[in-house]
Structure 1
Amino acid sequence: MNQNTYNISFPDTKYPTLTLEKYSQLSQHLTVQNSPVLFGCRTGICGTCLVEVEGDIPPPNSEELEILEIFSPGNKQARLACQIKLTNNIKIIEEGRGKKEEGRRKEVRKEGKKEEKVDGDSL
């Protein structure tokens, strides 16, 4: 069966399933109005569009792999949405939903007290 369109769903969100043509680049079709995915540079270097993907899509190229190792090391479902070309039905889950802030927080010990620090903030 030669399928020319595929569905992108966003489980546990208010966003409806979208249908796009095969090989569509998500960064050209997803907006804040139709998906929970935010985009920054759209070139694969900023990590703003980091998501988890369920579904069979081509693996990331070497440049994307480098960025994924920085922003989501060891997560085999992590992808940069701006780099995905649609080749199958997929589910997009915001990367680490429910753990996003927790993952960015670091425990810092200062003068015997335990404090939290969000990456980039100074104490």
Structure 2
Amino acid sequence: MSNLCTISFPESDFAPITLECHQNLSEHLTIQNSPVLFGCRTGICGTCLVEVIGEIPAPKLDEQEMLDTLAPNDSNARLACQIDITSDLEIRGLNE
């Protein structure tokens, strides 16, 4: 089983990236080129709200509380800074 995960960004010009599983996504996306905006990087501001397609662990309580506020009816909504990358994922900006 590979310990590498490919993260792709459909509907953007950003090239897919490959990370080791469990690495922090926000640390590997540059401010200039990132298809995802990051603010606090701690899960409390909601700036990095995205739609995730792929298998990842369920959100922790703090993240879930933020998701219940920002995207209460979207089961694919996640905070990109809080994602534990465990498999290949597609990440899209969440339409407001």
List runs of 5+ in structure 1 lacking aligned partners: 101-123
Q: Who wins on radius of gyration, i.e. which is larger? A: 1
Q: What is the aligned partner in structure 1 of residue 82 from structure 2? A: 83
CA displacement 1:55-112 (0-9 Å, x = unmatched): 000010111000001111121000000001210000001012xxx2xxxxxxxxxxxx
% identical aligned pairs: 53
**Map of 1:50 onto structure 2:** 49
Q: Which 10-residue stretch deviates more, 54-63 or 32-41? A: 32-41
- 1:10/1:35 contact within 8 Å kept: no
Matches within 5 A, 1:1-123: 2-96=1-95, 100=96
- Alignment size in residue pairs: 96
What root-mean-square deviation, in Å, do the aligned CA atoms of Structure 1 and Structure 2 show? 1.0
Q: What secondary structure, in the 3-state scheme, does the structure 1 residue paired with 2:52 have? A: strand
SS of equivalent residue, structure 1 residue 65: helix
Which structure features the higher share of strand residues?
1
TM-score, structure 1 normalization? 0.75
Which amino acid letter does the alignment assign opposite residue 58 of structure 1? P
Question: Secondary structure in 1 aligned to 2:26?
Answer: helix
CA distance in 1, matches of 2:34, 2:4: 18
CA contact (8 A) 1:16 1:34 kept: no
Higher relative contact order (CA 8 A, sep 6+): 2
TM value normalised by structure 2: 0.95
